[in-house]
Amino acid sequence: MTRTGSDPGRPFGRLLSAMVTPFRADGSLDVDGAARLAAHLVDDQEHDGLVVNGTTGESATTSDAEKDQVLRAVIEAVGDRATVIAGVGTNDTHHTIELARAAEKAGADGLLVVTPYYNKPPQAGILQHFRSIADASALPVMVYDIPGRTGVAIETETMCRIAEHERVVAVKDAKGDLGESAWVIKRTDLAYYSGEDKLTLPLLSVGAVGVVGVPTHVFGLETKRMILAHEKGDVARARALHLQLLPAFCGFFRTQGVILTKAALTLLGLPAGPVRPPLVPANAAELGRLREDCAEAGRTIGTADQMAHHNDLGVAL
């Protein structure tokens, strides 16, 4: 596999996952596990890139030192054949700049920067925040717009002004407003990546180029086929794959997405480990429904014996 990222229209490739951060049973960072999971996603699930230390990577409960460790491990494991984007966003501009510079030093290919959360800055503050981060390093920036988590949306005019910065090249779009996303796509050169798996195909239809997914940890191959079918103009095939995968696209979020992604990976024998508090492991009912959702989407995860002994997998009763 050759390294992606050379196409300016798809600066980070087509298929990416917001990668979980594997932990050991005691909750400590599993650096070797992170490298093995990254290799699996790139080599077996045909990912073009990975986002490390994003929300799905439990960035809220990992230290700056741990973030640096896992980023370096993933870069060493797959950086020669996939883009590695570092999640550096916080609600503190100065701290975000520090993380951005550390990611550049570690060798990341780009930065994922989320809208400052909880403090709900006005649009002028959001604009200043993203410009400051883009000024702070030479790395290309993917803006992460997810108002359901941050409490504030990036308005269309603000996004268009953010796009004026030469190093802001992409958006991870989890706003859920296809009309406003289409307006930004029309007015800017930003590469749009779906941040909601169930909206990937609709976003592709208005000009998006790929996805930064979560169920893609398990359904990466199928998701990539859907994207490629759409690009080739095979609308029927793309739609069929979308509908096939819809139970997984929705099912991984029946509770917090990290919880069920780690449960699925564990059932598949892949590195994941427990979640860190305040997240809690999937319970028996959630795990059973996850298996049903994955089966409906075309993938069997977990054996009957595993389900009977699911506490051994770090999944709570």
Instruction: State yes or no: is 175 an active-site residue.
Output: no
Distance spanning both ends of the chain, measured CA to CA: 41
Spatial separation of the C-alpha atoms in residues 28 and 189, rounded to whole Å: 41
Structure tokens at 149: 């988590």
Reduced to 3 states (helix: H, G, I; strand: E, B; else coil), residue 187 is helix
Annotated catalytic residue: which of 67, 118, 120, 172? 172
**Residue 8 vs residues 14, 70, 207: alpha-carbon distances, Å:** 12, 27, 14
Other Cβ atoms less than 10 A from the Cβ of 118: the count is 9
H and E: helices and strands count for the chain: 13, 8
Annotated catalytic residue: which of 117, 118, 120, 144? 144
- The identity of residue 87, as a single letter, is G
202 alpha-carbon distance from chain centroid: 18
- The long-range contacts involving 186-193, CB below 8 angstroms and separated by at least 24 positions, are 187/160, 188/159, 188/160, 188/163, 189/163, 190/143, 190/159, 190/163, 191/9, 191/10, 191/11, 191/12, 193/12, 193/16, 193/142
Spatial separation of the C-alpha atoms in residues 212 and 56, rounded to whole Å: 11
- The identity of residue 40, as a single letter, is H
Structure tokens at 93: 């501009």
Q: Under a CB-based contact definition with an 8 Å cutoff, are residues 214 and 252 in contact?
A: yes
How many residues would you count in the chain? 317
Instruction: State yes or no: is 172 an active-site residue.
Output: yes
Active site residues: 144, 172
